[in-house]
């Protein structure tokens, strides 16, 4: 698989960063760039972009965590979400279910630890490339995954928009608030 996996976000991490890398065989390449936006607050976004080897499997782990009202939750996600996914007992046989369960467990942990993590939250997009053959993508909120194929951007995830998901959000005990320049919707925390 000769591909280029790109994650790009313009908006804000705790430190400005960009980089690139490739898998162990060198045939899959990736790049990323995090650039602070014009908002008058520090960068609140974090990322993961790396290949790891686990039990004869090569995994590409890629993520963007878009912090809202602080960087504590996206920082927590950067440190814990992939570990939670990979520690799910069914990960190797049912990645889709494992990713979903890990997202839910991670959110529960954030809500339990909310006094330590403040009142902020984070959207998320994660991508796991298994052995260069299968790509699993998940997102929460409006963080989006795209891949380049033949120079054309192909969207791999669907944004969760508050206007189209209000009933579901409110049914789960959440709320949607439309304020100038800010929409509240599905997010960790």
| Residue 88, token pair as written in the block | 């799910």
| Residue 28, token pair as written in the block | 């899959």
| pLDDT score for 3 | 40
What does the alpha-carbon distance between residue 6 and residue 47 come to, in Å, rounded to a whole number? 12
On whether residue 165 sits in a domain, the answer given is no
- CATH code (residue 146): 3.60.40.10
Indicate the number of domains in the chain.
Answer: 1
How long is the chain?
Answer: 189
State the DSSP string of 99-127: HHHHHHHHHHHHHHTHHHHTT-EEEEEEE
On whether residue 167 sits in a domain, the answer given is no
On whether residue 185 sits in a domain, the answer given is no
Burial (CB count within 10 angstroms: exposed 0-12, middle 13-18, buried 19+), residue 71: buried
On whether residue 189 sits in a domain, the answer given is no
Chain centroid to CA 52: how far?
Answer: 17
| pLDDT score for 13 | 39
Range of the domain at 39: 3-158
| pLDDT score for 46 | 85
pLDDT averaged over 10-residue windows placed end to end, the chain, 189 residues? 40 60 91 76 82 95 86 90 96 96 91 73 91 93 84 86 73 63 51
| pLDDT score for 15 | 47
| pLDDT score for 1 | 38
| pLDDT score for 176 | 66
| pLDDT score for 140 | 86
Burial (CB count within 10 angstroms: exposed 0-12, middle 13-18, buried 19+), residue 122: buried
């Amino acid at each position: 698989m000769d591909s280029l996996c790109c994650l790009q976000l313009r908006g804000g991490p705790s430190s400005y960063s960009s980089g690139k890398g490739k898998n162990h065989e060198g045939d899959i390449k990736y790049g990323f760039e995090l650039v602070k936006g014009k908002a008058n607050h520090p960068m609140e976004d974090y990322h993961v972009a790396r290949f790891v080897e686990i039990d004869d499997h090569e995994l590409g782990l890629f993520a963007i965590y878009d912090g809202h009202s602080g960087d504590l939750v996206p920082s927590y996600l950067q440190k814990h979400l992939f570990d939670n996914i990979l520690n799910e007992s069914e990960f190797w046989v049912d990645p889709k279910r494992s990713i979903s369960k890990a997202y839910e467990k991670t959110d529960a942990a954030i809500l339990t630890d909310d006094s330590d993590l403040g009142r902020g939250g984070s959207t998320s997009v994660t991508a796991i490339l298994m052995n260069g053959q299968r790509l699993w993508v998940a997102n929460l909120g409006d963080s989006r995954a795209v891949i380049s194929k033949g120079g054309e951007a192909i969207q791999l995830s669907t944004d969760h928009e508050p206007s189209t998901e209000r009933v579901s959000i409110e049914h789960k005990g959440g709320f949607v608030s439309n304020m100038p320049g800010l929409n509240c919707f599905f997010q960790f925390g």
